[in-house]
Amino acid sequence: MKRYAQVPWPWIGIFLALGAAVQALLAPQSTAASTLGETAYRIVAMSIGVSSLVLLFMPPRRIAYFTGALVAAGLVAWALYLQYVVGLDPCPLCSVQRMVVIALGVICVVAAFQNPRRGGATFYALIATIVGGFGILVAMRHVWIQALPKGEVPSCGMSLNYMLDTLPFSDVLDKLFHGGGECAEEGWKFLQLAIPSWTLVFFVAMVVGSIALVRRD
């Protein structure tokens, strides 16, 4: 376990996340979507808690990179389960987030096999921050669309595969960030947070962890 002498803030972050989790479990269940403020509070609390957990129990670099790859693989496997077993087809923004998760997993696998020193870890942290930062923006946009009132939700658009086949890449990005009606459906939820909220937590934790690994000699 990596210790932070005289700085107990990682434990504070974990207790903050536990408090948010208990609050979500005790809150009355409702079919109505949570407000943007409630969702943002839970996302921030979980992001701080998971990132604090990563910092407290961070193993040596190679093991940490392999762990990140396994977590990414687990998330992709869970997404495939929801798609092909539960029947939750991914919307375009979900598909983009899935690709970002895969990209971060690949970065972790390459870094784990290389087992870089501080300079190499800095390079991987930069790449992970760029990729994870893009994922954060996409997930934030998705969370915002899901919090919109029904009357303000954009109409359903084309599928991601169709857009990639027929439109220039710049137009695809523009339409993706505008989102569509299918992106407003929350589907599976855990602790009152939908899939894009949890991918946002994952992206934040991956960026924080990759930066922290620079100094994990």
Q: What is d(CA 26, CA 20) in angstroms, rounded to the nearest whole number? A: 10
pLDDT at residue 91 tops 70 = yes
Tokens 């602790």 label which residue? 191
Task: Find the radius of gyration of the CA atoms of the chain.
Answer: 18
Dump pLDDT digits (tens) for 144-190: 888 776 655 555 455 555 555 556 655 556 656 555 555 667 777 88
Average pLDDT over residues 64-74: 94
Q: What is d(CA 24, CA 135) in angstroms, rounded to the nearest whole number? A: 25
Domain limits, the chain? 60-215
Packed helices 92-114 and 118-146: angle between N→C axes, nearest 10 degrees: 170
Q: What is d(CA 188, CA 190) in angstroms, rounded to the nearest whole number? A: 7
Strand partners of residue 193: 190
Q: Token digits for 7?
A: 């700085």
The CATH number assigned to the domain with range 60-215 reads 1.20.1550.10
pLDDT at residue 36 tops 60 = yes
pLDDT of residue 160: 56
